[in-house]
């Protein structure tokens, strides 16, 4: 059964001009783009999105980074979308990411790591609802 996940092309990758290459990798892997938009987000919006990480030592740095420039927000759809996108993204730290993954190819550091993808069905539902209205999903 088809599943939806939520993804962000992070500000580092947008700044470096990797948006199209990352979208191409996502489509090549069989994902349908149910919705996509480019926008700059505020620090407060980033803090709400990453609220589960609020106790982590990198929370302030992460939310400053995520609000440092335009990002591309997407809802992606395919069978097994959540796990398959995580696999395509690679490890959080690009130094540990497998060859051919998006983070191996495009990420610069453990924080500026090019792409976000939901890690479970409950987080995907929260994240899609946080950034998209139902009528925006096609
Ligand atoms: P993900 O699911 O692979 O994105 O990783 P996490 O959910 O653990 O962390 C969320 C995001 O926080 C990561 O994608 C990174 O941008 C950032 N992050 C994670 N770990 C660290 C860290 O140890 N230091 C810093 N500065 N940022 C981190």
Ligand 1 neighbourhood includes 40 CB (under 6 angstroms):
no
For residue 76, give both structure tokens: 């992606």
* Residue 1 pLDDT greater than 90, yes or no: no
pLDDT band at 109 (very low <50, low <70, confident <90, very high): very high
**Average pLDDT for residues 24-45, to the nearest whole number?**
98
pTM above 0.85, yes or no: yes
Which has the closest alpha carbon to 59: 42, 41, 47?
47
Q: Give the residue, by CA position, lying nearest to ligand 1 atom 28.
A: 111
Closest atom of ligand 1 to 119 CA is 2
| Average confidence score pLDDT of the chain | 98
Q: For residue 41, give every residue at least 6 positions away whose Cβ sits within 8 Å of its Cβ, in sequence order, or none.
A: 49, 66, 67, 71
Ligand 1 neighbourhood includes 58 CB (under 6 angstroms):
yes
DSSP states of 87-113: HHH--SSGGGPPTTSHHHHH--SSSS-
Ligand 1 neighbourhood includes 83 CB (under 6 angstroms):
no
Query: Which residues are paired to 32 by β-bridges?
Result: 77
Ligand 1 neighbourhood includes 93 CB (under 6 angstroms):
no
**Average pLDDT for residues 88-92, to the nearest whole number?**
98
CA of 134 to the centre of ligand 1 (A): 28
Alpha-carbon gap, residue 137 to 129, rounded angstroms: 11
DSSP 3-state helix, strand, coil percentages of the chain (rounded to 5)?
45, 20, 35
Cα-Cα end-to-end distance for the chain: 17
CA of 17 to the centre of ligand 1 (A): 22
pLDDT band at 75 (very low <50, low <70, confident <90, very high): very high
CA of 56 to the centre of ligand 1 (A): 10
Task: Give me the torsion for CA of 93, 99, 101, 105, rounded to 10°.
Answer: 80
């Amino acid at each position: 059964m088809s599943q939806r996940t939520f993804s962000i092309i992070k500000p580092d990758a947008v700044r470096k001009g990797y948006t199209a290459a990352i979208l191409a990798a996502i489509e090549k892997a069989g994902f349908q783009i149910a919705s996509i938009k480019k926008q700059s987000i505020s620090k407060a919006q980033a803090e709400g999105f990453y609220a589960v990480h609020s106790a982590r030592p990198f929370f302030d740095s992460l939310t400053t980074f995520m609000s440092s420039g335009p990002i591309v927000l997407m809802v992606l759809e395919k069978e097994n979308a959540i796990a398959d996108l995580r696999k395509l993204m690679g490890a959080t730290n690009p130094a540990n990411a497998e060859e051919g993954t998006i983070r191996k190819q495009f990420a610069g550091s453990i924080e500026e790591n090019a792409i976000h993808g939901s890690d479970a069905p409950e987080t995907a539902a929260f994240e899609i609802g946080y950034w998209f209205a139902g009528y925006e999903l096609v």
